[in-house]
């Protein structure tokens, strides 16, 4: 047995040929009604019988009951049953009526036996069972081992008929078996969860893409396929039927016959259709999936009933496309096909409505007129006929090519319109995003410029504080009364401006995130519907990146200009520092007041000056400066960051040196004796006396300096302050009382001194310094 999935093969045997000789004839749909016997449940409840079979062609639905006469005082009384429904007593005439005692064999003899003869003559044939659930449709079509159904009997008769032809004809037979479940078509010979798709062809009619067609040679192979397909069919028990079919099954046999004596070719199709039964949800008690199945079954059967009514009325429009079932039965109901309808009904009054509807549709179906043709192709066609057919096919090909080109132009035009629409929507959203992004970048740039200015201002203040806190009383007073308040006002102003910018940035950043999210969603939708927009989308992304890069470059240029001005001022300020530092150090050393710690710091500073580089490569820069990273970059993901821009981590203004032996140098009187003669550089003092000191770097070591200071003390009786100073003799400005008395001679300064001292002592910087001092010099 060979299997294959071939649409062309199915099409070739599924439809009549339009060339060669065909014979037309008209006929009506043959309707056979089968009345099943009462089941055990109906017998138990003693249900009333509502169907009366008159003969093999006529029955009466809801006949009148025989009423026994009622006599009272010897006189017959009228029976008045006002509460009882009147009997319909409808008479129906069909091609054949099979009673409760009829077997499947009897039904076969009266319904489908004759269609095999028509099939061999070249006519398409179709048989379908119709009725309510539990009416006996599947038993009639399939049957069981003891009582096989008409499908088995028909196939058996088919092969018997084929065998009777002997060597007169050659036969090729193919079989397919499908089901329609929940409005989806599935292959029963090759089970799969993927439904098959229906296609319509103007020449071949309705076709099923991907349908399995099995070639067979014997009746046993055909019956095995039928049995395997029935095992795959969807069946579930309900309250109305313990083995209720939940799908419509279509078993089709394709036969190709070629005569050996003649060149005639007959291509025919036989369809055996077992429909699922119509049902009421209240009667079946179905819920969940079973309820959904029942709804789809009723929907397809309603569509079938509508088609039957339209065909019986001779309407020009038949709604075949209302369901998958009616599309499959299109050729069986009103096409080129001899059709037999087997209407199965129940005689019990519990199925009153279902039985009435089935009989009504069966009567309507018997009025359907069919125009059928023999599907015969003459193999001895002349050459002229082939030429004519070839020309017709060429003409048809040109028409299809013209339609295809027109369709392709429309498709291209639709794609262009779709692309333009997506581009318009994307550009609108991108314009809104760029505006929000431009505002956000502007606010972030202002924030960073403000942060840099605050940082530079803090650095400048720290330099001034370092120079002023020991220089003089006037400088200290100016620091407390002017510089510190000015610095605090600037810091408060910075905090206010920074907080305002942070609030604006947060609002703008929220809008930017929302706009960017909409843009990303728009990109995904556009690319899913029109993949050719990928270049356009990438271009917009690159433009957005370029805008951010340009804004970053502009920010760095502004920062560079500010830093350049600061560097100029700082360079001018620092250019005088080395010479000043050297003079101060040499002056202290000349007087023997340069302690070892100061000498060591001075030598270390000289080494750093020698090792200073004029160029720093980018790879060697320190990447750990968070201040620098924040100020010099625009990170839209983190527009705000909390950093402390104070230069000192501890918030204090420290001394230039932490040496304990320098705490009282600024209060010492200069040595007024020029008798010391040493080898070195002469240095002029304010008293115009000259002190010789040795400033060669090689000889400046702590030991010799300390020895020179002691030697001066011995020769010239210079007091050496080796002992620590008593802190009780110092005030808050680290000035000895002798010096303080001369400053207090001015009453104005003395009054200001109290205010200045109080203000200065309240500063956290001064408090920290006092704490450092008391820690170093405990009382």
**How many residues are given for the chain?**
779
Question: How many CB atoms within 10 Å of residue 615?
Answer: 5
Q: Which among 747, 719, 749 has a CA at the least distance from the CA of 733?
A: 749
Cα distance between residue 54 and residue 61, in whole Å: 10
At residue 26, φ and ψ (nearest 5 deg) are: -115, 145
Burial class (CB in 10 A: 0-12, 13-18, 19+), 386: exposed
Contacts of residue 511, defined as CB under 8 A and 6 or more positions apart, other chains included, come to: 436
Contact (CB, 8 A) for 207 and 200: yes
Instruction: Please report, for residues 76, 80, 85, 240, 357, the alpha-carbon distance to residue 68 in angstroms, rounded to integers and kept in the order given.
Output: 10, 13, 18, 35, 31
Q: Which among 487, 631, 626 has a CA at the least distance from the CA of 552?
A: 631
Instruction: Please report, for residues 407, 600, 716, the alpha-carbon distance to residue 413 in angstroms, rounded to integers and kept in the order given.
Output: 10, 86, 110
- In the block, tokens 């059967």 appear at 301
Any binding-site annotation on 74? no
Instruction: Tell me the β-bridge partners of 92.
Output: 59
Any binding-site annotation on 138? yes
Contacts of residue 7, defined as CB under 8 A and 6 or more positions apart, other chains included, come to: 199, 207, 209, 210, 211
- In the block, tokens 């609108």 appear at 428
Report the chain's terminal Cα–Cα distance, integer Å: 116
DSSP strands (E only) in 196-299: 197-201, 205-209, 212-216, 235-236, 244-245, 248-259, 265-274
**Which of helix, strand or coil describes residue 713?**
helix
Cα distance between residue 376 and residue 16, in whole Å: 8
At residue 181, φ and ψ (nearest 5 deg) are: -125, 120
Any binding-site annotation on 135? yes
**Which of helix, strand or coil describes residue 237?**
coil
Question: How many CB atoms within 10 Å of residue 431?
Answer: 9
- In the block, tokens 């809008």 appear at 511
**Which of helix, strand or coil describes residue 553?**
helix
- In the block, tokens 């096919």 appear at 393
Report the alpha-carbon angle 539-542-545, nearest 5.
155
Any binding-site annotation on 702? no
Contacts of residue 413, defined as CB under 8 A and 6 or more positions apart, other chains included, come to: none
DSSP string, 448-470: HHHHHHHHHHHHHHHHHHHHHTT
Contact (CB, 8 A) for 59 and 92: yes
Cα distance between residue 314 and residue 333, in whole Å: 13
Any binding-site annotation on 594? no
- In the block, tokens 């970059």 appear at 633
Cα distance between residue 413 and residue 61, in whole Å: 62
Cα distance between residue 587 and residue 605, in whole Å: 17
Q: Which among 594, 585, 587 has a CA at the least distance from the CA of 709?
A: 594
Q: Which among 113, 143, 391 has a CA at the least distance from the CA of 243?
A: 143
Contacts of residue 589, defined as CB under 8 A and 6 or more positions apart, other chains included, come to: 599, 693, 695, 700, 705
Cα distance between residue 3 and residue 190, in whole Å: 10
Burial class (CB in 10 A: 0-12, 13-18, 19+), 757: middle
Cα distance between residue 45 and residue 346, in whole Å: 15
Any binding-site annotation on 330? no
Annotated binding site: 131-138
Binding residues for ATP: 131-138
């Amino acid at each position: 047995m060979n299997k294959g999935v071939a649409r062309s093969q199915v099409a070739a045997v599924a439809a009549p040929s339009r060339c060669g000789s065909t014979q037309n004839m008209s006929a009506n749909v043959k309707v056979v009604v089968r009345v099943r016997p009462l089941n055990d449940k109906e017998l138990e409840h003693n249900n009333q019988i509502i169907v009366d079979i008159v003969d093999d062609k006529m029955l009466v639905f809801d006949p009148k009951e025989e009423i026994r006469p009622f006599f009272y005082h010897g006189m017959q009384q009228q029976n008045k049953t006002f509460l009882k429904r009147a009997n319909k007593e409808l008479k129906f005439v069909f091609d054949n009526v099979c009673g409760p005692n009829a077997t499947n064999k009897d039904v076969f003899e009266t319904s489908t036996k004759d269609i095999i003869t028509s099939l061999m003559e070249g006519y398409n044939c179709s048989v379908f069972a119709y009725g309510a659930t539990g009416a006996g449709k599947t038993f009639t079509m399939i049957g069981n081992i003891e009582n096989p159904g008409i499908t088995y009997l028909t196939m058996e008769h088919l092969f018997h008929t084929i065998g009777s032809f002997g060597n007169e004809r050659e036969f090729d037979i193919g079989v397919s078996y499908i089901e329609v479940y929940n409005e989806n078509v599935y292959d029963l010979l090759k089970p799969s969860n993927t439904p098959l798709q229906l296609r319509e062809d103007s020449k071949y009619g309705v076709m099923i893409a991907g349908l399995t067609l099995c070639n067979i040679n014997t009746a046993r192979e055909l019956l095995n396929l039928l049995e395997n397909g029935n095992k795959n069919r969807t069946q579930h028990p309900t309250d109305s039927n313990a083995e209720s079919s939940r799908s419509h099954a279509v078993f089709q046999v394709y036969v190709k016959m070629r005569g050996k004596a003649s060149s005639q070719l007959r291509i025919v199709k036989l369809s055996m259709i077992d429909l699922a039964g119509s049902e009421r949800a209240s009667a079946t008690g179905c819920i969940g999936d079973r309820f959904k199945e029942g709804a789809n079954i009723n929907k397809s059967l309603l569509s079938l009933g509508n088609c039957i009514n339209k065909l019986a009325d001779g309407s020009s429009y038949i709604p075949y496309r209302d369901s998958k079932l009616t599309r499959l039965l299109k050729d069986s109901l009103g096409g080129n096909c001899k059709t037999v309808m087997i209407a199965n009904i129940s005689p019990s009054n519990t199925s009153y409505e279902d039985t009435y509807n089935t009989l009504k549709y069966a009567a309507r179906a018997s009025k359907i007129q069919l125009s059928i043709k023999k599907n015969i192709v003459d193999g001895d066609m002349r050459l002229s006929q082939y030429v004519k057919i070839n020309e017709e096919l060429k003409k048809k090909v040109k028409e299809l090519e013209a339609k295809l080109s027109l369709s392709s132009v429309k498709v291209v035009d639709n794609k262009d319109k779709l692309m333009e629409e997506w581009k318009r929507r994307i550009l609108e959203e991108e314009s809104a995003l760029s505006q929000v992004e431009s505002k956000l970048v502007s606010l972030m740039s202002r924030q960073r410029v403000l942060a840099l200015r605050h940082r530079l201002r803090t650095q400048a203040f720290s330099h001034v504080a370092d120079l002023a806190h020991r220089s003089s009383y006037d400088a200290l007073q100016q620091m407390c009364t002017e510089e510190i308040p000015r610095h605090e006002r600037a810091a408060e102003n910075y905090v206010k401006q920074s907080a305002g910018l942070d609030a604006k940035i947060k609002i703008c950043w929220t809008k930017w995130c929302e706009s960017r999210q909409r843009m990303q969603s728009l990109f995904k939708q556009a690319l899913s519907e029109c993949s050719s927009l990928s270049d356009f989308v990438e271009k917009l992304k690159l433009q957005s990146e370029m805008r951010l890069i340009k804004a970053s470059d502009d920010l760095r240029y502004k920062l560079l200009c500010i830093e350049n001005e600061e560097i100029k001022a700082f360079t001018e300020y620092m250019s005088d520092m080395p010479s000043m530092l050297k003079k101060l150090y040499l002056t202290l050393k000349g007087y023997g007041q340069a302690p070892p710690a100061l000498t060591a710091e001075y030598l270390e500073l000289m080494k750093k000056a020698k090792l200073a580089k004029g160029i720093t490569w980018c790879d060697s820069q320190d990447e750990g400066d968070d201040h620098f990273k924040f100020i010099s970059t625009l990170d839209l993901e983190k527009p705000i960051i909390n950093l402390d821009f104070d230069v000192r981590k501890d918030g204090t203004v420290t001394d230039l040196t932490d040496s304990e032996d320098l705490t009282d140098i600024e209060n010492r009187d200069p040595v007024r004796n020029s008798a010391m003669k040493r080898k070195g550089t002469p240095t002029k003092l304010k008293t115009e006396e000259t002190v010789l000191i040795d400033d060669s770097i090689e000889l400046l070591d702590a030991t010799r300096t300390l020895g020179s200071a002691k030697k001066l003390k011995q020769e010239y009786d210079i007091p050496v302050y080796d002992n620590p100073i008593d802190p009780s003799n110092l005030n808050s400005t680290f000035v000895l009382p002798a010096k303080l008395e001369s400053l207090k001679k001015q009453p104005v300064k003395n009054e200001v001194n109290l205010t200045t001292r109080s203000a200065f002592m309240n500063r956290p910087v001064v408090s920290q310094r006092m704490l450092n001092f008391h820690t170093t010099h405990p009382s």
